[in-house]
Homo-oligomer: A and B are copies of this chain.
Amino acid sequence: MLVRPKSGILDPQGKAVERALPALGFDGVANVHVGRLIELDVDDPTDLEAMCEKLLANPLIEEYEIQTEPAAE
């Protein structure tokens, strides 16, 4: 699952990165957003949305995106 700060919500980690990169010599960087990447194996992928709502994301300030791939054997 990918969890991102909602647009319009303060993203202090993103701002910190955006300020730090030019100081390291990287210019031309904008719109930095820092979120979370959560990877897991689950028996029932229909649980994933509820997991995000209840634990993995804060739906007030974050949005999430669920990506699934078939089980690797």
Contacts and interface: CB of A to CB of B under 8 A. Distances in A.
Contacts of A34: 36-39
A44 B30 CA distance: 12
Contacts of A43: 27-29
A32 B48 CA distance: 12
Interface residue range, chain A: 20 to 34
Given A24-B55, A36-B34, A36-B36, A29 B17 contact: no
A47 B25 CA distance: 10
A40 B27 contact: no
A9 interface: no
Given A17-B56, A21-B55, A47 B26 contact: yes
